[in-house]
Structure 1
Amino acid sequence: MNACFLSQNQNPDPRQYCQLNNSMPLLRLFFDGQSDMHADFRLSRASFNALMDAIGREADHGWGPEIACLVFLFWLASGTSYRVVSRAFDMPRTSVHRAIHTTSSKVASLFAQTVHHPSEQELVNVGAGFARLAGSAAFSRVAGSIDGCHVRVKPPARDADCYLNRKLFYSVQLQAVIDHTAKFIDVCVGYTGSVHDSWVLKNSPLYLERKYPPPGYFLIGDGGYPCLSYPITLMTPYRQPLRNQLQAAYNSRLTKARVVVERAFGILKTRWRAIFLKALEVDIRYVPEVILCCTILHNICLSQGDVLDVLDDEDGIAGAAGEEHPEREAAPPGTVSGAQERDRLAGLCCAPQDHDYI
């Protein structure tokens, strides 16, 4: 992950010059203890408290971690300049800059404990959840649904072409694996928009380290990915035209199971729409950390039951299972096709079901 870490000015007693103006509307809203925080900060008080418990409440500068976190969240939620954030909090612009970068670094440090692969017991529940989504026990060994999202950016002038994607806007890619509850369990962020989804996959730690999914389990993805049984097991839809009813049944079940990844990206875009629905105007080196923070905050909010209504997927984040993908690539060298395993799953999709998904 690329990040921009900024040095902090030292002061023997920063509290001497850090004085809050509690009359500012955003601070009044926060300090009243009851007002809804969603409109300005995009999360609930329960989610905010869970976040503060995770990053710690000990003061490391004069404004304190809670105020710094509010500044960071308001910046994420609004997508405005440091100047506008400075006015909203009546805080020096240099303090806003430091609060945003310090807090994003703290949030990013929560990645390992917040975005991680499920345990062996949790994996059983994940598989059962996907079987329920698909309506078929054939999907009870699904370990997650994989997909990608293009995040709009302002590219560096000398490398702009590298960021231009097939939809003709500049972007950085977020690859994610989602469990049955729309929780992020694996994230790879930072590759430029010009490369194909399958290229991102085969250059990601998920693929290179081969630690997930474990033996006996598989991921599901859309038609932009190759169907594989090695080095990871990844099941994708049959391509059109379909040959028989077995393939149609399998594609239908896969679509139902995969809808959760579209929902996860939809929730992410809805909560942080200023980040995901317009070009992110920060140093390109800082972009991966910002996106990573959004996925971490997504999981924290999910754990608190803090879920927003999903916006329409106007950018077409994920294609429907079985549709033609305009740039679908063949399986990379050194891989083993998953076609045989997919045929087996297709047969199970048409077998009698007892609906016991655990």
Structure 2
Amino acid sequence: MESLEEIEAVFAVFDDLDNNILEEIEVPEPRNPKVYFRDVDPFRDYSEDSFKMRFRFSKNIVLNVILPKINDSLQSETQRGLLISPICQLLTALRFYATGSFQIVCGDIMHNSQSTVCYIVRRVSRALASLMQDFIEFPQNLRKTKDSFEKLGCIGRAPGLENIVGAIDCTHIKITKPRGIIHTEQYRNRKGYFSLNLQVVGGPNLMIHDIVVRWAGSTHDSRIFRNSRLNIKLNNNEIDGVLLADGGYPCTRYLLTPISNPSTPQEERYNKVQIKSRNSVERLFGVCKRRFPCLQIGLATKLSTTANIIVACAVLHNIAVEYNDTIEVEDDVVDVIPNNNAQPSNSTRTTGTGDGLVLRANIIARYYTF
């Protein structure tokens, strides 16, 4: 997993050329006294259910869990003018994540100007993204994670897979066409729209254990993994376990993939167990995008801010899972789940290292022959 500074450095060069985007005004407009939460108090005006529907978290989690962790980062460096309190900044950003709407619309709802909302979203997103090292990591007790994955994959007499510490996959976050970049087409994915390809490793309880957000939409999933720190850690045995992946990845001693064309009942049983266990990361994408529709609708911010928003939403998702802060989502929010039977065009689908193929064959022969 990369640090926040490394993620921002990737997009810094592009963003320097992109400062003329109307939505990304660096300094907010002069503030007007009518702009602030003097007449709007979400904690007072909304019931618990209405508050959670609008901000995606309960009042208690916002006040006692999220705010204390970023309160100092949101304090104003000066005392000039009428200041926007940290809690008002946090609620404004949460409202943006929860709607994915134009910033000017979020500003009207929260009684702020568009440029002020832009400034707040950028500031709050960076503050939340700075918590990445604290909230996005592999658990200390991997034994519990392995047992949960083993139970998750059981199908009848077929046991679940052992020694699994996570499921890896990528998802596309839609963005507007980047400006100031010579090779903008590298951000256009195979479905025809501009995106960032986000790599995530998820646990059996939908917790995010690792995230990589720096690659353009046209980059293949296996290339992202091959160049990630996670690959190095697994290869050096720094993480004791194996990841589950789809057919777009090569089969290695620490990456188990399904059989491309199962020809025996044993291989079919293995595939069913592998797919059932791996679906946890796909459900993670669905839950996260439903909680934060901005990730599904798309982001029109500059690249560094977009990366921070994505990481911020990942941090918030883990906080919600850790504190069991569930949410009822609207029926009109569409969840795009990848098709497990889709045939990736990349040739790595049928490849793998000798150790990986031998490991997979041994697992099939030992557990799924009956």
| TM-score, length basis structure 2 | 0.81
What amino acid is aligned across from residue 97 of structure 2 in structure 1?
Answer: L
Is residue 155 of structure 2 the alignment partner of residue 140 of structure 1? no
**Aligned with 2:272: secondary structure?**
helix
Separation in structure 2 between the aligned mates of residue 211 and residue 51 of structure 1, nearest angstrom: 35
Separation in structure 2 between the aligned mates of residue 7 and residue 82 of structure 1, nearest angstrom: 12
**Aligned with 2:185: secondary structure?**
helix
| 2:286 counterpart (248, 255, 266) | 266
Cα shift at 1:343:
1.0
Is residue 187 of structure 2 the alignment partner of residue 172 of structure 1? no
Q: Residue deviations 1:48-102, cap 9 Å, x none?
A: 2321132236861221211110011111122233322222222344432332222
**Aligned with 1:338: secondary structure?**
helix
| 2:276 counterpart (251, 256, 259) | 256
Cα shift at 1:347:
2.4
- Decide whether the 8 Å contact of 2:125 with 2:305 is kept in 1: no
| 2:98 counterpart (68, 77, 82) | 77
- Decide whether the 8 Å contact of 2:286 with 2:336 is kept in 1: no
| 1:152 counterpart (151, 174, 187) | 174
- Decide whether the 8 Å contact of 1:163 with 1:171 is kept in 2: yes
Is residue 366 of structure 2 the alignment partner of residue 348 of structure 1? yes
- Decide whether the 8 Å contact of 2:283 with 2:337 is kept in 1: no
Is residue 322 of structure 2 the alignment partner of residue 306 of structure 1? no
Separation in structure 1 between the aligned mates of residue 178 and residue 25 of structure 2, nearest angstrom: 23
Cα shift at 1:215:
6.0
Other-structure match for 2:87: 66
- Decide whether the 8 Å contact of 2:165 with 2:242 is kept in 1: yes
What amino acid is aligned across from residue 125 of structure 1 in structure 2?
Answer: K
Is residue 69 of structure 2 the alignment partner of residue 54 of structure 1? yes
Q: Residue deviations 1:5-29, cap 9 Å, x none?
A: 999879xxx99969734333xx3x3
Is residue 136 of structure 2 the alignment partner of residue 115 of structure 1? yes
- Between the two proteins, the alignment pairs up a number of residues equal to 337
Greater helix fraction, Structure 1 or Structure 2:
2
Separation in structure 2 between the aligned mates of residue 328 and residue 187 of structure 1, nearest angstrom: 25
- Decide whether the 8 Å contact of 2:27 with 2:115 is kept in 1: no
- Decide whether the 8 Å contact of 1:253 with 1:349 is kept in 2: no
What's the Cα RMSD here? 3.2
| 2:38 counterpart (6, 19, 22) | 22
- Decide whether the 8 Å contact of 1:15 with 1:63 is kept in 2: no
| 2:264 counterpart (244, 248, 263) | 244
Separation in structure 2 between the aligned mates of residue 182 and residue 332 of structure 1, nearest angstrom: 28
CA separation of 1:172/1:215 partners in 2, compared to 1, >3 Å: closer, same or farther?
closer
What amino acid is aligned across from residue 264 of structure 1 in structure 2?
Answer: L
CA separation of 1:273/1:54 partners in 2, compared to 1, >3 Å: closer, same or farther?
same
- Decide whether the 8 Å contact of 2:131 with 2:315 is kept in 1: yes
Identity of aligned residues (%): 25
What amino acid is aligned across from residue 61 of structure 2 in structure 1?
Answer: S
- Decide whether the 8 Å contact of 1:58 with 1:64 is kept in 2: no
| TM-score, length basis structure 1 | 0.83
Cα shift at 1:209:
4.2
Is residue 217 of structure 2 the alignment partner of residue 193 of structure 1? yes
Is residue 57 of structure 2 the alignment partner of residue 39 of structure 1? no
- Decide whether the 8 Å contact of 2:52 with 2:327 is kept in 1: no
Is residue 147 of structure 2 the alignment partner of residue 128 of structure 1? yes
Separation in structure 2 between the aligned mates of residue 87 and residue 313 of structure 1, nearest angstrom: 23
